[in-house]
Copies of this chain bind each other. A is one copy, B any other.
Amino acid sequence: LEDLIRFFEKKDNVSLGKMLKEVENQTPLSLEILKLSSFRKGKAHIIGITGPPGSGKSTLVGKMCKKLAAKDLRIGVVCVDPTSPFTKGALLGDRIRMQELGKLPNVFIKSLATRGNLGGLASSTADIVQVLDAFEMDVILIETVGVGQIEFDVLGVADTVLLVSVPGLGDTLQTLKAGIMEIADIYVINQADRPGADESVKDLNLMVRESGKKDWTPPIHKTVATQDSGIDELVHEITAHKKYLERSGLWKEKRQTRNVARLYSMIESLLAQRVEDHINMEESLKAKVQDVMNGERDPYTTSQEIVDRLIAKHNSYQYGG
């Protein structure tokens, strides 16, 4: 434990890398790391960047990272890429650029492997972000790919969400991304030197106005990441959003909400484990679950029975009166 605390104090990239390995592999030590980091986190500005593959997210994240690093800020980058077979490869150039960035002393880059297990991805992202935060990163950039459920879960830990698109995908956005639209704080039209950029801006403007967010109107921002164009302004927008969050009290509120959500999700998984153990220990319950499986017993009565057995009645009386 002493060693761990010293690791946190050192704040160098080697210590950090070691910690994150432990957390990613869920070693016995990881729980201690997470406990310690939970008291040290809360200061980083966490930025989620999403959008379809091919929109140039990686390049954009790279350029933003470089810009922020030049301001002497400590930057963490987390790449969450739950790639389906369809999105493999093609990003070698970006990867090389990323490696260059990773050599800067105030930049730390972590790629999350998915190993086909999408379910655990959101929670391990949250853990990684927490440790980076505890290591006193000023900004954490999370790059994620837009695939349903996981995208939402991953973006749930972000203070500021960037939705990156390219000209001509306006139609796409309108039809498919309704869910994401509602959580975006800043829209980026990347590759804005391509035809149709202004139309995309116009389309998005219309949608933003229709959706009617209250205090913060998501700005729509054009970039050409490969040419470093529009990045300064984007970083400026991000800072403006941070100030808005602080001013409105949302900065604090988001952290509190996330802390409570984390507690409840942990309670939930502990209870799920207890339920599992409980059912496995009692033959009569196992048989009942089997009956439900075969449609010979209803889940409504059975779930009640199992919960009542797990939580002895007198246990609730104890506090009730």
Chain A residues packing against B (C-beta within 8 Å): 31, 34-35, 38-39, 41-42, 52-54, 83-87, 145-152, 171-172, 174-182, 207, 210-212, 255-256, 259-260, 262-264, 266-268, 270-272, 274-275, 277-278, 281-282, 289, 292-296, 298-304, 306-307, 310-312, 315-316, 319-320
Contacts and interface: CB of A to CB of B under 8 A. Distances in A.
A171 B175 CA distance: 13
A179 B267 contact: no
23 contacts: A34-B300, A35-B298, A84-B179, A85-B210, A85-B212, A86-B178, A86-B181, A147-B178, A255-B295, A259-B299, A260-B293, A262-B299, A263-B303, A266-B300, A268-B272, A270-B303, A274-B307, A274-B311, A278-B319, A310-B311, A311-B311, A312-B312, A312-B315
Contacts of A293: 256, 259-260, 263
A321 to B, nearest CB: 10
Nearest to A148: B179
A270 B147 CA distance: 30
A295 B163 CA distance: 29
Contacts of A174: 86
B316 A277 contact: yes
A272 B307 CA distance: 11
Contact of A86 (B42, B207, B259): B207
Contacts of A255: 295
A295 B255 CA distance: 8
Contacts of A264: 272, 275
A156 to B, nearest CB: 11
B271 A275 contact: yes
A194 B266 CA distance: 51
Given A38-B300, A85-B211, A271-B275, A147 B179 contact: yes
B306 A267 contact: yes
A263 B149 CA distance: 22
B298 A38 contact: yes
Given A274-B307, A311-B315, 9 more contacts: A34-B300, A84-B178, A84-B211, A86-B181, A86-B207, A86-B210, A148-B180, A263-B302, A271-B275
Nearest to A86: B178
B270 A271 contact: no
Contacts of A54: 175
Contact of A176 (B39, B172, B268, B277): B172
Contacts of A53: 175
A268 B294 CA distance: 20
B177 A299 contact: no
Contacts of A275: 264, 267, 271
A178 to B, nearest CB: 4
A266 to B, nearest CB: 4
Contacts of A282: 319
A137 to B, nearest CB: 16
